[in-house]
A and B are shown apart, each in its own frame.
Chain A
Amino acid sequence: MAAEQQTSRFKRRKMVPADDVDRKNPYLAHMYNDNESQHDSGVSLSDAASLNGHPNGNGSNGSAMKRHATTMKQAQTAEDGPHNYFKPAAQLSDRYFGILKTRRGLPVHAQRQEFLDMYQKTQILVFVGETGSGKTTQIPQFVLFDDLPQSQAKMVACTQPRRVAAMSVAQRVAQEMDVTLGEEVGYSIRFEDMTSPKTILKYMTDGMLLREAMNDHNLTRYSTIILDEAHERTLATDILMGLLKEVVTRRPDLKLIIMSATLDAQKFQKYFMNAPLLAVPGRTHPVEIFYTPEPERDYVEAALRTVLQIHATEPEGDILLFLTGEEEIEDACRKIRLESDDMIREADAGPLEVYPLYGSLPPAQQQKIFSAAPAPFKTGGRPGRKCIVSTNIAETSLTIDGIVYVVDPGFSKQKVYNPRIRVESLLVSPISKASAQQRAGRAGRTRPGKCFRLYTEGAFKKELIDQSYPEILRSNLASTVLELKKLGIDDLVHFDLMDPPAPETLMRALEELNYLACLDDEGELTALGKLASDFPLDPALAVMLISSPEFYCSNEILSLTSLLSVPQVFVRPAAARKRADEMKELFTHTDGDHLTMLNVYHAFKSPSAQDNPKQWCHDHFLSYRALQQADNVRLQLKRIMEREEVELVSTPFEDKKYYENIRRALVAGFFMQVAKRESSGKTYVTVKDEQSVLLHPSTVLGQDSEWVVYNEFVLTSKNYIRTVTAVKPEWLLEISPTYYNVEEFRKGEVKSSLMKVRDRANRRAAVAPAGRR
């Protein structure tokens, strides 16, 4: 604290000459209308007055900023300090001025006035800025200085597709504005709200803004909404666009900015009633593109060969290789390291450092990609370089400087959903032309680069689609439909989406919600549906959680729901698979993976583990991060349950029905994800869809369970069901009689088996009362 004061005193002394200059600046006159002794308070008072009392600045102070009529000059003067415009009592720090200098060099800054002119003139604006233009950090600040949301007691929202981006950008902008993160600048992501009543700029995931819209259909808390990275076309961004298209007509005072990194902006313009467009060039260098003369037989092998050849023959510069998934990437990294060691020994190559990069990699590991390339072995020797092997997260979301060579095999793992077999899965698929261009662009961040495409030019033209399919076309829409209903959209059929999904996708979603009793036969929200939509969960999980008190195990189902909402808790490193499996056995419950996960959680919460949870997780091959996250999710969900008065109860552990109750509660949510073992052997067949599936090798379940619920259907060359738990067929008939209306089933093993169960139950029911009588 003392140190802080000292620096601020130092600052003030240093700023004296600047003060003198500022005094002559007419735009700063309002800051100096009092004598020196009242400097601080004077500024804050006059600011407060012009901001809160007289938003139009018609007080004594003629040069005060007028909402939606400010200029770049005014804003810059305000930014130049010495006091923080949005926190008038505070002096701006040295670090602030250091960052300010960099900020003024960003490409967007050059067009700040142009931006303001357009922003003031129009309600909706489409803004295109390539990565590196500074749009995500600067545009919201430009808006703040003109929109002056504090004067309206409103906020500016800026949405991001990813949680990490929302957090890190908010942190950066808080620094740039010299405020504490969570005060004037904050963020809001699922299960974490880092804002306060002071907040005027809020970075948030697009999903969070959608959640807010459910309870505030007109988004009245915001004066400007910025949809960033709109080109990524996430599900939530698409829904938000549809929603905001309606909101802007109801709220003429709301301004909307659509920001995109690629030049497909015309589509956005057209969709938003021909909104004007502003484009800012990024800082990019030319990238030379090379194609292969023939299609590749094995794209991974071709990629490795190309990387090594670049290392052997090309001048200094780092390499970025795009592959599809964790396993493929780790494997490639291992092979490149081996081969490059050979090259160093035999061909006097320079050092090559290889880093993997994928979403589930711990942040500390991810951070490594930013380390500098290795130095040559001896001064004057052949230069070292780093090679990053990444999924498509390096395509748009992460910026790595120093990349000069990009190797692009043309594939990525993409989510696909097909309503006909109700499978949502990640599949390796060809990328789009737009993605390929984006990837190539990564080579030109620092200097002219090269992109090696491992396919022919003809294949690029003929085989790749122009734009990637937006997420809304590749997703199960059950939770989206529930959200839309909660958003007050009744006409789902004609809701104006930029890319409406296939009708069958909506059909399935409605059907699922109807079976879950969230929607009635007319398509109206039921009480259960309303309640379920309050939980930021898949409808099946939400329904399971809400109905769990009926099975006396809501505490346990709460834990389980949290565990199912976070990444995999079991860690199975390639080098220690056996040991990891042994550790997993400690927690195994033979009735299934769900129960096993629950055992893990309970063990994790035990006092002995909590002594040193990190070490404990390490020893037991569990992901500390995932468990911690699950803990956090649990807390948030628990709050919602308490608010909505969903009872928290448990069956005593000694009771022999403890686990059975949990399994029954599972059925209440997942009755549509059930498979029955075929009489012929170890394959299972899914109920109703009749797909032949195998239990995923990771399961703890013995092969003798005839009926199972599963959490996930994994589509590969073999169909797997993952995270499975044994259930009894009687429960299915009892807990979800509408779905298990046996008469409606197609003839087959599942039907005859269910009929037997039903008849047996009926007989028993008929006999029991008679016996009692």
Chain B
Amino acid sequence: MADEEEDDYLAMSFDTAGSKQGKETSIQRTARLKKEAAERGRVPSKRELADQAKAAREAALATQLDASNKGAKMMAKMGFKGGALGKSEDARTQPIEVMLKEDRGGIGMDSEKKRKIREAAAEVEDQHKRRKVDEVEYRERTRNEREEWRAEGQMWSAMRTLEGFETGGVATGAEADDVRGHAGDASKLTETEHKPLRSINVLWRPLVKQRLEKERDRRMRYDLDQSLSRKGDYEDPDADQDDKLALGAEVEELDEEDPELEELEALSFAERLEKIIKELREEYYYCFWCKYRYPDEAMEDCPGVTEDEHG
């Protein structure tokens, strides 16, 4: 006890030595002792205690038992030379980690949080990088992006035109399908849903597939959320069942592999667009750029195959 006091005293005088020089006054001394006593007597908050306990626990959990352990010595005598126990090759060498769950977050919540933090960090970094890119490169890239985007839009539009011809529908590329609501989708769906996906021309198959996927997503959401939150006056379980049966078949098909489609999708948008335009011309004498269906193969008034030729 006496030792401790002396230690404290020395430490204190060393501190003050530089600034004041000379001995501390009795008033200072009383104040210091008071402060120190308060520090000693202060009851740490629950939070602090919990943190301390956690730190001690984690430190202990991270510390492997070493050779000084009595049990380790006994094991050495039994012929243990490190590594794992037993005879199987993939036996563990480390104890299972202790994970304390302190909240009621569901499975995946923690990693979701971590992912969001990571993403935010990545975005900040991205911004940094982006600023560094010089202007020429930036223009080049945005131009490419814009072209890509445009080609994609034209490709979908061409697909819809082709679909219109093949199904005998009236669709022309000008109308954007996306803006239509579910009703439009659903009616289109009924036209094609009895047809196996693969029997559809690969050039506009993505269109149908996309619709089916959208519908499936909608139904899954509907099953999970909406059906559960509907009011108690809901009394139509049969229709639900049928829907699901129909859906079940689609789901299987959607998940099937489709090498033909994969091959097509490996091409760039512009290349795909080109293919569709060619098909339109050959089969239907329709020029995507003139937006006109010519009466015969010659397609006389059409300036050419590419967009550029159409001015």
Identify the A interface with B (CB < 8 A): 288, 290-302, 306, 309-310, 312-315, 343, 347-349, 382, 409-411, 416-421, 423, 427-430, 452, 454-456, 458-460, 462-464, 469, 473-474, 490-512, 514-515, 519, 521-523, 680-681, 683, 689-693, 715-719
Report yes or no: A506 in contact with B106, Cβ–Cβ below 8 A: no
Report yes or no: A499 in contact with B91, Cβ–Cβ below 8 A: yes
Among the listed A288, A314, A427, which residue makes an inter-chain contact with B98, where contact means beta carbons less than 8 Å apart? Answer: A427
Q: Can you list 11 A-B contacts with CB-CB less than 8 angstroms, sorted by A residue number?
A: A312-B231, A313-B229, A411-B101, A418-B95, A423-B98, A430-B107, A494-B79, A494-B85, A501-B95, A507-B71, A690-B56
Report yes or no: A510 in contact with B74, Cβ–Cβ below 8 A: yes
| B95 surroundings in chain A (CB, below 8 A) | 417-420, 473, 501-502, 504-505
Among the listed B77, B88, B232, which residue makes an inter-chain contact with A500, where contact means beta carbons less than 8 Å apart? Answer: B88
Report yes or no: A691 in contact with B57, Cβ–Cβ below 8 A: yes
Would you give the 0/1 interface string for B95-115, flagging 1 where the beta carbon is closer than 8 Å to chain A?
Answer: 110111111111111011000
Q: Is B200 an interface residue (CB 8 A)?
A: no
Binds A, one of B47-55, B140-148, B189-197, B201-209: B47-55
| B223 surroundings in chain A (CB, below 8 A) | 290
Q: Give, as a whole number of angstroms, the nearest-CB distance from A215 to chain B.
A: 24
| A301 surroundings in chain B (CB, below 8 A) | 104
Among the listed B50, B53, B105, B221, which residue makes an inter-chain contact with A298, where contact means beta carbons less than 8 Å apart? Answer: B105
| B11 surroundings in chain A (CB, below 8 A) | none
| A680 surroundings in chain B (CB, below 8 A) | 43-44
Q: Is B298 an interface residue (CB 8 A)?
A: no
Q: Is B293 an interface residue (CB 8 A)?
A: no
Among the listed B69, B88, B94, B107, which residue makes an inter-chain contact with A410, where contact means beta carbons less than 8 Å apart? Answer: B107
| A521 surroundings in chain B (CB, below 8 A) | 70, 73-74, 77
Among the listed A294, A347, A452, A692, which residue makes an inter-chain contact with B232, where contact means beta carbons less than 8 Å apart? Answer: A347
Among the listed B56, B71, B221, which residue makes an inter-chain contact with A692, where contact means beta carbons less than 8 Å apart? Answer: B56
Q: Give, as a whole number of angstroms, the nearest-CB distance from B20 to chain A.
A: 32
Report yes or no: A502 in contact with B99, Cβ–Cβ below 8 A: no
A474 to B92, CA, bound (A): 12
* Residue of B101, B231, B234 with most partner-chain A CB within 10 A: B101
Report yes or no: A500 in contact with B64, Cβ–Cβ below 8 A: no
Q: Give, as a whole number of angstroms, the nearest-CB distance from A593 to chain B.
A: 22
* Residue of B49, B79, B85, B233 with most partner-chain A CB within 10 A: B85
| B72 surroundings in chain A (CB, below 8 A) | 507
Report yes or no: A429 in contact with B80, Cβ–Cβ below 8 A: no
| B53 surroundings in chain A (CB, below 8 A) | 683, 691-693, 718-719
Report yes or no: B93 in contact with A503, Cβ–Cβ below 8 A: yes
Report yes or no: B86 in contact with A496, Cβ–Cβ below 8 A: yes
Q: Is B121 an interface residue (CB 8 A)?
A: no
With contacts A416-B96, A419-B65, A718-B53 known, is A292 near B224, CB below 8 A? yes
Report yes or no: B85 in contact with A420, Cβ–Cβ below 8 A: no
| A454 surroundings in chain B (CB, below 8 A) | 106-107
Report yes or no: B230 in contact with A295, Cβ–Cβ below 8 A: no
Would you give the 0/1 interface string for B286-302, flagging 1 where the beta carbon is closer than 8 Å to chain A?
Answer: 00000000000000000
Among the listed B94, B112, B237, which residue makes an inter-chain contact with A295, where contact means beta carbons less than 8 Å apart? Answer: B112
Report yes or no: A473 in contact with B96, Cβ–Cβ below 8 A: yes
Report yes or no: A498 in contact with B104, Cβ–Cβ below 8 A: no
A500 to B84, CA, bound (A): 8
Report yes or no: A295 in contact with B70, Cβ–Cβ below 8 A: no
Report yes or no: A511 in contact with B96, Cβ–Cβ below 8 A: no
With contacts A420-B63, A491-B78, A718-B50 known, is A455 near B106, CB below 8 A? yes
| A502 surroundings in chain B (CB, below 8 A) | 84-85, 92-96
Report yes or no: A299 in contact with B74, Cβ–Cβ below 8 A: no
Q: Give, as a whole number of angstroms, the nearest-CB distance from B230 to chain A.
A: 5
A340 to B201, CA, bound (A): 53
Q: Is B37 an interface residue (CB 8 A)?
A: no
| A690 surroundings in chain B (CB, below 8 A) | 56, 60
Report yes or no: B56 in contact with A473, Cβ–Cβ below 8 A: no
A505 to B56, CA, bound (A): 20
Q: Is B2 an interface residue (CB 8 A)?
A: no
With contacts A691-B60, A692-B52 known, is A503 near B96, CB below 8 A? no
Q: Is B17 an interface residue (CB 8 A)?
A: no
| A508 surroundings in chain B (CB, below 8 A) | 65, 69, 71
Report yes or no: B232 in contact with A455, Cβ–Cβ below 8 A: no
| Closest 10 pairs (CB-CB, A-B) | A459-B108, A500-B86, A296-B106, A309-B228, A347-B232, A511-B71, A507-B71, A510-B71, A455-B107, A500-B85
A462 to B65, CA, bound (A): 31
Report yes or no: B104 in contact with A299, Cβ–Cβ below 8 A: yes
| B56 surroundings in chain A (CB, below 8 A) | 690-692
Q: Is B75 an interface residue (CB 8 A)?
A: yes
Q: Give, as a whole number of angstroms, the nearest-CB distance from B101 to chain A.
A: 5
Identify the B interface with A (CB < 8 A): 43-44, 49-50, 52-53, 56-57, 60-65, 69-75, 77-80, 82-88, 91-96, 98-109, 111-112, 220-221, 223-224, 227-234, 237, 244
Report yes or no: B71 in contact with A509, Cβ–Cβ below 8 A: yes
Q: Give, as a whole number of angstroms, the nearest-CB distance from B258 to chain A.
A: 22
A288 to B105, CA, bound (A): 24
| A460 surroundings in chain B (CB, below 8 A) | 107
| B88 surroundings in chain A (CB, below 8 A) | 496-500
| B52 surroundings in chain A (CB, below 8 A) | 692
Minimum CB distance partner of A291 in chain B? B224
Among the listed B61, B77, B80, B105, which residue makes an inter-chain contact with A296, where contact means beta carbons less than 8 Å apart? Answer: B105
A462 to B100, CA, bound (A): 19
| A492 surroundings in chain B (CB, below 8 A) | 75, 78, 85
| A501 surroundings in chain B (CB, below 8 A) | 85, 92, 95
| A691 surroundings in chain B (CB, below 8 A) | 53, 56-57, 60
| B111 surroundings in chain A (CB, below 8 A) | 459, 462-463
Report yes or no: B101 in contact with A421, Cβ–Cβ below 8 A: no
A373 to B57, CA, bound (A): 48
With contacts A313-B234, A421-B60, A692-B52 known, is A500 near B105, CB below 8 A? no
Q: Give, as a whole number of angstroms, the nearest-CB distance from A447 to chain B.
A: 12
Report yes or no: A717 in contact with B50, Cβ–Cβ below 8 A: yes
Minimum CB distance partner of B112 in chain A? A295
Minimum CB distance partner of A690 in chain B? B56
A458 to B71, CA, bound (A): 43
| A309 surroundings in chain B (CB, below 8 A) | 228-229
Minimum CB distance partner of A315 in chain B? B237
A456 to B223, CA, bound (A): 15
Report yes or no: B107 in contact with A313, Cβ–Cβ below 8 A: no
Minimum CB distance partner of A744 in chain B? B68
Report yes or no: A510 in contact with B75, Cβ–Cβ below 8 A: yes
A343 to B231, CA, bound (A): 10
Minimum CB distance partner of A717 in chain B? B102
| B234 surroundings in chain A (CB, below 8 A) | 312-313
Minimum CB distance partner of B79 in chain A? A493
Q: Give, as a whole number of angstroms, the nearest-CB distance from B81 to chain A.
A: 9
A423 to B82, CA, bound (A): 23
Q: Give, as a whole number of angstroms, the nearest-CB distance from B74 to chain A.
A: 5
Report yes or no: A313 in contact with B60, Cβ–Cβ below 8 A: no
| B98 surroundings in chain A (CB, below 8 A) | 416, 418, 421, 423, 427, 715
| B60 surroundings in chain A (CB, below 8 A) | 420-421, 689-691
With contacts A292-B224, A690-B60 known, is A506 near B85, CB below 8 A? yes
A226 to B52, CA, bound (A): 50
* Residue of B61, B71, B224 with most partner-chain A CB within 10 A: B71
Report yes or no: B100 in contact with A313, Cβ–Cβ below 8 A: no
With contacts A716-B100, A717-B50 known, is A313 near B84, CB below 8 A? no
Report yes or no: B85 in contact with A503, Cβ–Cβ below 8 A: yes
A428 to B106, CA, bound (A): 12
Q: Give, as a whole number of angstroms, the nearest-CB distance from A457 to chain B.
A: 10
A423 to B111, CA, bound (A): 27
| A459 surroundings in chain B (CB, below 8 A) | 107-108, 111
Report yes or no: B106 in contact with A497, Cβ–Cβ below 8 A: no
Report yes or no: B65 in contact with A504, Cβ–Cβ below 8 A: yes
| A411 surroundings in chain B (CB, below 8 A) | 101, 107
Report yes or no: B78 in contact with A418, Cβ–Cβ below 8 A: no
